[in-house]
Chain A
Amino acid sequence: MEEEKEKQQWVDGVFQSMKGSSKATPNPALFSLIEQQIEFSQAETIPKKQWRFAVAAAILVLIMNVSALILYEQDDISSNGISKSDTMYSSSLISNYQIYEQ
Chain B
Amino acid sequence: MQNDSKIIKGVAKGDKQAFKMLYDRYSEKVYNTALSYTKDTEEAEEVTQDVFMKIFKSAATFKGNSLLSTWIYRIVVNTSLNYVNKKKRLTLVKNNSDLPDVTDFQHPGVLLEQKENAAALFKAMDCLPDNQKTAFILSFIEDMPRKEVAKIMETSLKAVESLLQRAKQNMRQELEKIYPNRRKSDN
User: What residues of chain A have their CB less than 8 Å away from a CB belonging to chain B?
Assistant: 7, 10-11, 13-18, 20-27, 30-31, 33-35, 37-38, 41
Residues of chain B within 8 A (CB-CB) of A7 are: 176, 179
Chain B residues within 8 Å of chain A by Cβ, number: 37
How far, in angstroms, from A41 to B49 measured CA to CA in the complex?
13
Residues of chain B within 8 A (CB-CB) of A34 are: 23, 49, 52-53, 56
Give chain B interface residues in 7-51, CB to chain A under 8 Å.
16, 20, 23, 27-28, 31-32, 35, 41, 44-45, 48-49
Residues of chain A within 8 A (CB-CB) of B56 are: 34, 38
Convert B98-121 into 0s and 1s, putting 1 for each residue whose CB lies closer than 8 angstroms to a CB of A.
000000000111110010011011
Say whether A17 contacts B117, CB under 8 Å: yes
Contact partner of B110 among A18, A25, A30, CB < 8 A?
A18
Known contacts A11-B172, A18-B110, A18-B118; is-contact A26 B31 (Cβ 8 Å): yes
How far, in angstroms, from A101 to B16 measured CA to CA in the complex?
96
Interface pairs A-B: 6 shortest CB-CB: A17-B117, A22-B109, A17-B118, A26-B31, A17-B114, A24-B108
State how many angstroms separate the Cβ of A29 from the closest Cβ of chain B.
10
Residue of B nearest to A7 (CB): B179
How far, in angstroms, from A7 to B52 measured CA to CA in the complex?
42
State how many angstroms separate the Cβ of B72 from the closest Cβ of chain A.
14
Say whether A18 contacts B35, CB under 8 Å: no
How far, in angstroms, from A33 to B46 measured CA to CA in the complex?
10
Residues of chain A within 8 A (CB-CB) of B41 are: 24
B138 at the interface (CB under 8 A from A): no
Say whether B48 contacts A30, CB under 8 Å: yes
Contact partner of B118 among A21, A26, A41, CB < 8 A?
A21
How far, in angstroms, from A17 to B119 measured CA to CA in the complex?
9
Say whether B28 contacts A25, CB under 8 Å: yes
How far, in angstroms, from A75 to B121 measured CA to CA in the complex?
89
How far, in angstroms, from A27 to B45 measured CA to CA in the complex?
8
**A15-B121, A17-B117, A18-B114 provided; 20 other pairs, C-beta below 8 A?**
A10-B179, A10-B182, A11-B175, A14-B124, A15-B140, A15-B171, A16-B117, A17-B110, A18-B107, A20-B111, A20-B114, A21-B110, A22-B109, A24-B28, A24-B41, A24-B108, A31-B20, A34-B56, A37-B49, A41-B57
